A and B are shown apart, each in its own frame.
Chain A
Amino acid sequence: MKAKHRRLTFVGVGLLLLAGAAGLVLVALEDTVVFFFAPSDLQAQERAPEGRIRIGGLIEQGSLERGGTPIRFRITDLKATVQVSYRGLLPDLIREGQGVVASGLLVDGLLEADEVLAKHDENYMPKEVADALRRAGTWQGGS
């Protein structure tokens, strides 16, 4: 019996730990998950999403004001656009007409981004962007 008890203690402690971790995970997921929107998704929302979000699409032609702080550009899925402002260095591969994902807080319809990711190389399109454009029906490339 004693041996069994001891084994049970270990299992019990393990389960308690897992339960605690599961609680942490659930609470953290609730608080920290960042949702992705295409500009037209955002337009379709009745209320502006709160907290951090990510917006992906193409950089609208002629919208990129390089340099200066903040840097400003518009993200489009060719149906709707979102204005973005960003303090920091833009990735090297960023160019007008190409895929981009920006994350930050939406303030009065303007995305104050703290992170801007571009594609890593010439033939790569961020997966979310490709999907978003396909949903908007404005692009039919393979991913």
Chain B
Amino acid sequence: MIIELGHHALVLAFLVALLQGTVPLVGAARRDLALMELGRSAALVQLLALAGAFAALTHAYVTSDFSVLNVAENSHSMKPMLYKVTGVWGNHEGSMLLWVLVLAAFGLAVALRGHGLPAVLKARVLAIQGLLGAGFLGFILLTSNPFLRLDPVPADGRDLNPLLQDPGLAFHPPMLYLGYVGFSVAFSFSVAALIEGRVDPAWARWVRPWTLAAWSALTAGIALGSWWAYYELGWGGWWYWDPVENASFMPWLAGTALLHSAIVVEKRDALKSWTILLAIIAFGFSLMGTFLVRSGVLTSVHAFAVDPDRGLYILVLLAVTIGGALALFAFRAPAMAQGSLFRPISREGGLVANNLLLATATATVCVGTLYPLFLDAATGEKVSVGPPFFHATFVPVMLPAVLLAGIGPMLAWKRADLEGVFTRLRFAALVAGAVALLTWLLQHGHHPGPVIGLALAAWLAASTLIEWTGRVGLFRRRGIVARIIGLPRSAHGMTLAHLGLAVFICGAVGDSFWRREVVVDATPGAVAELAGYRVVLEDIRSGNGPNYEAEVVRLRVERDGEAIGELRPERRFYPVQGTRTTEAAIRSRPLGDLYAAVGEGRTPEHRTLRLWHAPLVPWIWAGALMMVTGGLVSLSDRRLRVGAPRRTPGPVTQPAGGD
């Protein structure tokens, strides 16, 4: 009964989304306020209907109602409650339902928080959101209905893939979707602006908070996914440049560029067409990510079921949405008022360089990700593009971007005094030089990679701190607290995010260049040595979890002859799916992780023991956390708070105009 209600709610949401996608557009064209107002109520009804549908599916999972095909295929009565709930989006149909739920929530947020927004612009934004919703709801109803019944009802379900039964992964999809779908708001604003034919700083003040929110969520989502891959897959890596990872990384890169270019529109009323284009591209990459991951074009843990209809539908949806938006862009962008011009050596100039570099970096990732697909489609030849490609293309493009991130925030708007900036940056250069020298001397072998990487990270951290201390006047005596509080929160957010990037780079460099690994075939009592650690296999025990049987290997970790800890990697067997998983054990310290995983050995007494020493890996997560926090701090800035902006420019904003 509840399931049928859920299905009906889904159909209702689809119809309401169609209404939301058309009536306000007509209203906006005719300047009919009543028709335009319909968008708001429709957004509310659509969200309520989808929340009802989502609740119905969740209810089926929680009560283990195996008469529902989706539940029977992806759940099991013995599964812990947390994973029963997260299992709702641990499969294709449920995750698409979550997608549209998030989309509707963003739509309602625009409807509710858009007090200062001109009625016509708001009506158009809501209509675009409605059309997007209708497209995806049609996809769900036609190809991926989660509410299909199963007859006869099986005694129990087929369980969720054990790899996905993990707290890190439980919240990876919702965060990622918040990011992907969050870019839909920037997209809708851009398309609405194209229909209207004008963009002004107020528009950018509207777009920026949504982009910032989406970017923060996407950063968190990617970091969670990476963290999960690191500790759950038992391969010890955190980023493989796998197409599925790249699919989430491309919208992130484009979104990062958008975040920066929107500042120029807001402060200087320039770069308008480019910003609109970026918003379309960022959301386009989000849709492409969904297509690549959901269509079964790529084989991965994400490709739940391969169904060509689904791939085709999403591909058509992608083509219509992005193709349509780009066509509109081609028609309308040239007619829009040109923004003001500026000198190359200025804050704007720096942000443009940032955008060029980020866009180029996105393009390299895109080529590396799609090339094998195109080659397969064109010639049937099967190739793969792996980490070496991205190290040779993406990394060199990003190096100057990081260098620039240290200089850019110090440049003044309009016209910057480069000499003055370099004087202030002397100390940062000194720090970077010292770090480079130390790295060169201390590392085994003279590889240039870590020297460049760590020096750049030090440069970025030092110059970011110099910029921040300069702004809060750390070295002036009085009123420092007042100055810290008085500084716009977006400035603190930027500082934190850039510092986070520096910390992240250290982690990535440490792990990429200095990782050590040993593999031994061991019985109890065997010893392995690695990076100054001595690891002794003590014993092998069995232990059981709620829905699995486990074998726990106890390892004693010693350093300088003293026991300093214990690692307990596990091998688990999930009887319902007949699946084995490896649970790695990690001893995490600020300077690095000791990572252990076990596999079957030569004989029943032996175990293959694989140990890594991965320097600075915790810095990767710390850096990501700092970036997310930086985004959220910026979001709490009064000028950027969603809904706060007014058409009248605030005191901090510079008047728009040319130079």
B608 adjacent to chain A (CB < 8 Å): yes
B234 adjacent to chain A (CB < 8 Å): yes
Please indicate which of the listed interface residues B300, B383, B385, B581 has the most CB atoms of chain A within 10 Å of its own CB: B383
Q: Give the B-binding residues of A (Cβ under 8 A).
A: 3, 6-7, 9-10, 13-14, 17-18, 21, 24-25, 27-29, 31-36, 54, 65-69, 71, 87-90, 92-93, 103, 120-122, 124, 126-128, 131, 143
Please indicate which of the listed interface residues B163, B306, B353, B610 has the most CB atoms of chain A within 10 Å of its own CB: B306
- B364, B396, B577, B600: which contacts A66 (Cβ < 8 A)? B600
- 0/1 per residue, B380-420, Cβ < 8 Å to A? 01111110110011001100000000000000000000000
B566 adjacent to chain A (CB < 8 Å): no
Q: Is the CB of A21 within 8 A of B299?
A: no
Q: Is the CB of A89 within 8 A of B385?
A: no
Q: Is the CB of B579 within 8 A of A121?
A: yes
268-324 of chain B: CB within 8 A of chain A: 299-301, 303, 306
562-621 of chain B: CB within 8 A of chain A: 571, 577-582, 597-603, 606-608, 610
Given contacts A67-B603, A89-B519, 5 further A-B contacts (CB under 8 A): A6-B342, A89-B608, A92-B582, A120-B163, A121-B161
CB distance from B271 to the nearest CB of A (A): 10
24 sampled A-B residue pairs with Cβ under 8 A: A6-B342, A6-B343, A9-B344, A10-B352, A14-B356, A24-B364, A24-B397, A25-B364, A25-B393, A29-B367, A29-B389, A33-B389, A36-B384, A66-B600, A67-B608, A68-B602, A89-B582, A89-B599, A90-B600, A92-B580, A120-B163, A121-B577, A126-B299, A128-B382
Residues of B within 8 A of A6 (CB): 341-344
Closest to B271 in A: A10
Residues of B within 8 A of A103 (CB): 384
State A82–B382 Cα separation when bound (angstroms): 18
Closest to A65 in B: B602
Given known contacts A10-B352, A14-B356, A66-B601, A92 and B579 CB-to-CB distance under 8 angstroms: yes
Residues of B within 8 A of A120 (CB): 161, 163, 299-301
Q: Is the CB of B578 within 8 A of A28?
A: no
Q: Is the CB of A32 within 8 A of B392?
A: yes
Given known contacts A67-B602, A120-B301, A18 and B360 CB-to-CB distance under 8 angstroms: yes
B331 adjacent to chain A (CB < 8 Å): no
Residues of A within 8 A of B301 (CB): 120
Residues of B within 8 A of A27 (CB): 392
Residues of B within 8 A of A66 (CB): 600-602
- A18, A25, A69: which contacts B521 (Cβ < 8 A)? A69
Closest to B584 in A: A89
Please indicate which of the listed interface residues A31, A33, A69, A143 has the most CB atoms of chain B within 10 Å of its own CB: A33
Residues of A within 8 A of B383 (CB): 33-36
Residues of A within 8 A of B234 (CB): 89, 92
Residues of A within 8 A of B26 (CB): none
Residues of A within 8 A of B582 (CB): 89, 92
Residues of A within 8 A of B306 (CB): 143
Closest to B366 in A: A25
Q: Is the CB of B519 within 8 A of A87?
A: yes
Residues of A within 8 A of B571 (CB): 92
Q: Is the CB of A67 within 8 A of B606?
A: yes
Closest to B235 in A: A89
B656 adjacent to chain A (CB < 8 Å): no
CB distance from B6 to the nearest CB of A (A): 27
State A88–B438 Cα separation when bound (angstroms): 33
B371 adjacent to chain A (CB < 8 Å): yes
B431 adjacent to chain A (CB < 8 Å): no
CB distance from A38 to the nearest CB of B (A): 9
State A120–B164 Cα separation when bound (angstroms): 11
CB distance from B156 to the nearest CB of A (A): 16
Residues of A within 8 A of B341 (CB): 3, 6-7
State A14–B385 Cα separation when bound (angstroms): 26
CB distance from B302 to the nearest CB of A (A): 9
State A67–B601 Cα separation when bound (angstroms): 4
CB distance from A105 to the nearest CB of B (A): 13
State A131–B380 Cα separation when bound (angstroms): 10
B429 adjacent to chain A (CB < 8 Å): no
- A9, A14, A92: which contacts B581 (Cβ < 8 A)? A92
State A65–B519 Cα separation when bound (angstroms): 16
Residues of B within 8 A of A13 (CB): 353, 356
B474 adjacent to chain A (CB < 8 Å): no
Residues of A within 8 A of B300 (CB): 120
State A89–B383 Cα separation when bound (angstroms): 24
Q: Is the CB of A28 within 8 A of B382?
A: no
- A32, A35, A36, A126: which contacts B388 (Cβ < 8 A)? A32
B363 adjacent to chain A (CB < 8 Å): yes
B425 adjacent to chain A (CB < 8 Å): no
- 0/1 per residue, B489-532, Cβ < 8 Å to A? 00000000000000000000000000000011100000000000
Residues of A within 8 A of B600 (CB): 66-67, 90
CB distance from A24 to the nearest CB of B (A): 5
Residues of B within 8 A of A121 (CB): 161, 577, 579
User: What 4 A-B pairs come out closest when comparing CB atoms?
Assistant: A67-B602, A36-B382, A67-B601, A92-B580
State A33–B341 Cα separation when bound (angstroms): 43
Q: Is the CB of B384 within 8 A of A124?
A: no
Closest to B353 in A: A13
Q: Is the CB of A69 within 8 A of B608?
A: yes
- 0/1 per residue, B475-487, Cβ < 8 Å to A? 0000000000000
Residues of A within 8 A of B371 (CB): 29, 33
Q: Is the CB of A24 within 8 A of B352?
A: no
B357 adjacent to chain A (CB < 8 Å): yes
Q: Is the CB of A24 within 8 A of B392?
A: yes
State A125–B521 Cα separation when bound (angstroms): 29
Closest to A92 in B: B580
- B163, B343, B389, B601: which contacts A28 (Cβ < 8 A)? B389
- 0/1 per residue, B32-56, Cβ < 8 Å to A? 0000000000000000000000000
